[in-house]
Structure 1
Amino acid sequence: MPQPRQHGTPERNRPGGPHAQNEPTGGNGLPEPTTPNGRAALEALLTEPARALFAFDFDGTLAPIVADPRDSAPQPGIVAALAELAELAGTVAVITGRGAATAVDLGGLDRVPGITVLGHYGAERWSDGRVAAAEPPPGVSLVRAELPGLVDASGAPEGTWIEDKGRSLAVHTRRAADPDRALELLGGPLTELAERAGLKVEPGRMVIELRPQGVDKGAALTSLVEERGALHVFYAGDDLGDLPAFEAVAALRARGVSGLTVCSSSEEVTAVADAADLVVPGPAGLAELLGRVTERIRGLAA
């Protein structure tokens, strides 16, 4: 199974390790990014929000991780914070591995004016109550047919279960007696199945997903930035699938778009905190950050 990539650079190193939270600065109550690029981008986002795109992962970022993803719900207050931000920002978007309509329904995201939700890593798009999506590749049907037998034959402990997302399938181990052992047993067989089906293996927090190739959150974010003509971009995520979006922010910087990456931190994944300009303590910390950002934008505009 693919190993988590390490994205730390000397600029990103911070005292206290990858889980250290950024400290508030000055009198505005905003935490300070640990990188020069991040600090410049935050200033630009605050002063020119109408030319900015604010994008967010869903699970682990807007919504706390739960044992069963079907029970997922947004962090209290965070959707209201997004709605307030949407009144000031050029674009507010969610980019998720879930189906777009599923994320909207679970999160009540239709309460956010003008929001765009890109589902299945950008293969689906929800806006104005409508979903646009291409047909999934045939390999998804192959995985759907063979995955139950493969999981049974792997010896994975009880509590391991399969989530069918329509365009992809995920094997969850969080409810298993030994989640890490389940992932170890499943890694090889799932990789082999994905190769036969022409799909990609996407490891995550107590989950392995088999999904179509050629789409990721980085490509989705870049496309949306270009479509909207955004000059500044903010992206928040928590898991390995968000690292391509962080990489996209770095590439956009080279093209003159200022960018800030934010990690909604957890003890389960460290690579995202290592790669981020700013680290907040999970969805609750992100909700607080959004409230402070909105307050600061309004204060500067007054």
Structure 2
Amino acid sequence: MAMALRPIDNALPTTPERPKKQTKVPVSIQKQPEFGVNDENQAPLPAATIDATIDYISSENLKPISDPDFKILSLNEGLDSKDWVKVCESLNNVRRFALYHSALLFPTLEKVMVVMVKAMKNPRSALCKTSIMASFDIFKAFGDSLFDSATSAAFDQLLLQLLLKASQDKRFVCEEADRTLNTMVQSLTPLPLLQKLRAYASHANPRVRAKAAVSVSACVSKMGLEGMKDYGLVSLVKMAADLLNDRLPEAREAARGIVLSVYNAYTENEEEKQEIWLNFCQSNLTPIHAQSMVKITSSQ
């Protein structure tokens, strides 16, 4: 007959299992991007239907501001708005101030240019293009004043953004940026502008490099021999020599323009133009680069 097992009093007590903690799963809350924030790791949000209502007003159709002394006081408030539509409206007011009341705008020009740079970085094309159009009017209105120490740093950032926008695939933004860069070259003294463009002619981005080369070529075409000497004739031809081997045809064509401008200025009063030019190139460039320079000028 089987005997019932008796409990052993001195046995170790069994430890009851502790309830398992539930793993907390963090819930990410997607925030709506504010004006000026462009997260490159996320696809841009679809443009709101109001994009279609933004008017791109040509400079010729902009009107003076009524009571500008009062309106200038609220300009910065509009530019700082979180509402991108209000920022567009304020940028159009910036354009009106630049064209008709530039003296009132100048004291706050640096702040305005910082906002314009921020707007160009925004994924909304309407905001970006309006800012580019504002740049166009500011170049025409203020010209060499943009080289002043108070605005020089902001101008550097603006220039970079214009080169970037001229390099992108959105055609209507790209064309507006090209037009603005051309106006910049026509409105500003070539030598100080060339000094600012120099770094971008060797930019890592080939499209930016090509757009910078086009502006450099346009600057050089406006300069006489003395202006070229002030910048450095050798520096100019070395820059052109590097660009002649660029990946993009636009950069190579701009380089040829630089070479021809320097050649025409350097040999203007010389009878033996090709011989003088050959000696200059051979003295300052590698043999292969010198040969390229002479080939360009001998075919014109």
Q: Same fold (TM over 0.5)?
A: no
If the length of structure 2 is used for normalisation, what is the TM-score? 0.25
Higher Cα Rg, which structure: 2
If the length of structure 1 is used for normalisation, what is the TM-score? 0.24
Higher-strand-fraction structure: 1
- RCO comparison, higher one (Cα < 8 Å, 6+): 1
